[in-house]
Amino acid sequence: MKQIAKLKTLVLSMAMAGSSLAVLAPATVQAGVTGNVGLVSQYIFRGAPQSAGAAAQAGLDYEHESGAYLGLWASDVDDKATGANELEYDIYGGYETELSGVTLGAGFTLYRYTQEEFDTPYDEVNLWAGYGPFTFTYDIGQNKDAAADGGDIDYSVMTLSAEYNGMYALYGMGSDFMGEDTDHSWIELGYGAEVAPGTDVSIALINSSKEGSGYSKDGSDKANTMMVVGFTKTFDIM
């Protein structure tokens, strides 16, 4: 489930999808197209595992000097309980600017699955604000055809994070994101670093509060602390 390359590339590689680190779309930069490929020991998004093991990931991003961006990102996803194994692909876009030292952004993310056995589509509106090392995000969305009666489920997710020299801490909570009439929260602590030009590694500890949110070691399916190690290579295309 998900990214926002800008934001999911804070949880996938605070160094920018899959692992768990980047912090939001970068500030205004020169126009260009970049690509990224990565590998994570486990794909976890918003405290919820999207894979039982390692997952390969890749993305393509266009950023305009005005602050506008558009991108596509994909990852392996699988569910050991149902046997579903397919590809998630996210389409996202938006705009970010800075006013008097405050970063403000708004965008959208469309989460899709090649077979829709792992999950059904999600449509989101993403809002964020940042000042200094702190970033607050608020996402509102709809999970299509996910309700017990076959209808859609409206949900919201909020996060507050702080970053310093590659280290970060994040607290998030969601309402109905992990199911109808279900609330959950999670905490992430991590570190990311550039080990070579365009090459980042990251490590994160993630704990979710909701039962049924993870692949527990004892098979009870209760929440547990998970460690994710990630590798991301970013390269210029244009």
pTM here is 0.85
Specify whether the CB–CB gap between 223 and 210 falls below 8 A: yes
Write the burial class of residue 167 (CB in 10 Å: 0-12 exposed, 13-18 middle, 19+ buried): middle
Specify whether the CB–CB gap between 2 and 24 falls below 8 A: no
CATH of the domain at 50: 2.40.160.160
Residue 146 lies in a domain: yes
Residue 234, pLDDT score: 94
Residue 1 lies in a domain: no
Residue 6 lies in a domain: no
Neighbours of 164 (CB within 10 A): 9
Residue 30, pLDDT score: 65
- Our CA angle for 17, 212, 145, nearest 5°, is 70
Residue 108, pLDDT score: 95
d(CA 192, CA 72): 22
Residue 16 lies in a domain: no
Note down the domain range covering 69: 32-236
Residue 162 lies in a domain: yes
Residue 4 lies in a domain: no
φ, ψ (nearest 5 deg) of residue 117: -90, -35
Residue 175 lies in a domain: yes
Domain count, the chain: 1
Residue 238, pLDDT score: 87
pLDDT one digit per residue (tens) for the chain, 238 residues = 433 334 443 443 333 333 333 333 344 456 799 999 999 999 999 998 999 999 999 999 999 999 999 999 999 999 877 888 999 999 999 999 999 999 999 999 999 999 999 999 999 999 999 999 999 999 999 999 989 899 999 999 999 999 999 999 999 999 999 888 888 999 999 999 999 999 999 999 999 887 544 444 444 445 578 999 999 999 999 8
Residue 29, pLDDT score: 53
